[in-house]
Chain A
């Protein structure tokens, strides 16, 4: 189990190192969004929580978008692996099905950590100044969220036969999920239905945690937010394992 998980994880990381452009794309879009939208809105944005402007408010949300893009892009390779044939070799091996899911999700997590760490290099120009401990705590949250979204990506990619379908779901479901996570605007002041969606969105507590560590704005309940993200990870990984274990017809 551990060997198989390690090997699948290692393969994902090696592939990333050998064709980094695929994952770097997941970093660039959010950075450009952050800079352009953040600078564009500038000081016309006045959050109730007392941050200086939109760039700092938007920084943790951009980090969440980087984790989302990185984790999901890395799971698209499942569809390519199925088309190209690599996946059938893995499925015909005695490797436990859970190790197939875990290896992939840990790969997503690792790439999310790498891209997240690169984005953190922009902290000095973001107007935020968290301490080393806060940065480490934020990276731990990135890891947990990367694992959860890796699991979500596997859930979506597993039954898919084309990468176009995956991109469709990404645009129709996952990007709106991010929009409604508090990444771009706070729940206070939003319409009722938006607030309701934000409350049930599992990305909301993740963004809340990142914001708490990076901007110093206290989260309502850090422990319960972290617990929700952990449950989110557990659910997506369990459903993925069930999907992967189910024999196809």
Chain B
């Protein structure tokens, strides 16, 4: 069974068509990157997968569960890290994690163990009693990750997870995502507009103007180009007709 199955997905908001018949799937245990410029439809797709908005047509299935028809069941399979902070700055790290556990129906010793593990894994134990509002951007992102992983979701999705992080924190994050895939078999889907971030994924989908223009392992995408010594950057330019920085 695939972890994520997107079939002919369309989304239209007024005159604006942000997704134009998108289809792809992500295998269980893969680290998958959706690469595209801002405004290319990544965040719309992300919001549909995370059940926040409904598509105009088409389907999204998370481990076989349709996110529109069975949102509650789909939400149980998903860990979500949004681009903007979904934690309360007025609460402490511990309170935020506990709150998240309660929302997922966790309680008692199981929740306490999960929180302890999350704090340890992300080096947050000494900051557990601090209000999130007093933490640095990098630490906050770690709280977000610890929070999203608390219910042990089989699929973790992240929207531009490294935005606002310095290079060191970005490296740590990518390393953590790979560790999750390797040690726990978690499927990871992230969106990014950074070539170097997409390059570490098992597979990359290039999203351009609401359509998937290329999909495959980074090495295969590069190998398929006629140019001499191409890079993933060239792959992107080849398929979209423009560079990411433009």
Beyond A3-B107, A19-B90, whether A92 also contacts B51 by CB under 8 A is yes
Closest-by-CB residue of B relative to A89 is: B86
Contact of B54 among A7, A19, A91, A247 (CB under 8 A): A247
Residues 91-114 of chain B, each 1 if its beta carbon lies under 8 Å from chain A, else 0: 100010011101111010000000
Contact of B102 among A3, A85, A96, A248 (CB under 8 A): A3
Query: What is the total number of residues of chain B having a CB less than 8 Å from a CB of chain A?
Result: 33
Using a CB-CB cutoff of 8 Å, which residues 39-69 of chain B contact chain A?
50-54, 56, 68
Q: Is the C-beta of B38 less than 8 angstroms from some C-beta in chain A?
A: no
Q: Is the C-beta of A183 less than 8 angstroms from some C-beta in chain B?
A: no
Say yes or no: A247 contacts B104, CB within 8 Å.
Answer: no
Contact of B105 among A19, A94, A248 (CB under 8 A): A94
Say yes or no: A95 contacts B103, CB within 8 Å.
Answer: yes
Say yes or no: A247 contacts B88, CB within 8 Å.
Answer: no
Say yes or no: A93 contacts B68, CB within 8 Å.
Answer: no
Using a CB-CB cutoff of 8 Å, which residues 65-121 of chain A contact chain B?
84-96
Beyond A92-B75, A95-B103, whether A85 also contacts B82 by CB under 8 A is yes
Min CB–CB distance B124 → chain A (angstroms) = 17
Q: Is the C-beta of B71 less than 8 angstroms from some C-beta in chain A?
A: yes
Say yes or no: B50 contacts A92, CB within 8 Å.
Answer: yes
Closest-by-CB residue of B relative to A7 is: B102
Closest-by-CB residue of B relative to A96 is: B72
Q: Is the C-beta of B145 less than 8 angstroms from some C-beta in chain A?
A: no
Residues of A within 8 A of B76 (CB): 94
Residues of A within 8 A of B100 (CB): 89, 93
Residues 180-200 of chain A, each 1 if its beta carbon lies under 8 Å from chain B, else 0: 000000000000000000000
Beyond A3-B107, A247-B71, A249-B54, whether A86 also contacts B102 by CB under 8 A is no
A4 to B98, CA, bound (A): 11
Interface size band for A: 20 to 34
Closest-by-CB residue of A relative to B67 is: A247
Say yes or no: A7 contacts B91, CB within 8 Å.
Answer: no
Residues of B within 8 A of A85 (CB): 82, 84-86
Beyond A88-B82, A89-B82, A249-B54, whether A7 also contacts B88 by CB under 8 A is no
Residues of A within 8 A of B98 (CB): 7
Min CB–CB distance A2 → chain B (angstroms) = 9
Contact of B99 among A11, A88, A96, A249 (CB under 8 A): A11
Say yes or no: A88 contacts B105, CB within 8 Å.
Answer: no
Residues of B within 8 A of A86 (CB): 85-88
Q: Is the C-beta of A37 less than 8 angstroms from some C-beta in chain B?
A: no
Min CB–CB distance B232 → chain A (angstroms) = 30
A4 to B101, CA, bound (A): 9
Closest-by-CB residue of A relative to B75 is: A94
Say yes or no: A84 contacts B84, CB within 8 Å.
Answer: yes
Min CB–CB distance B149 → chain A (angstroms) = 13
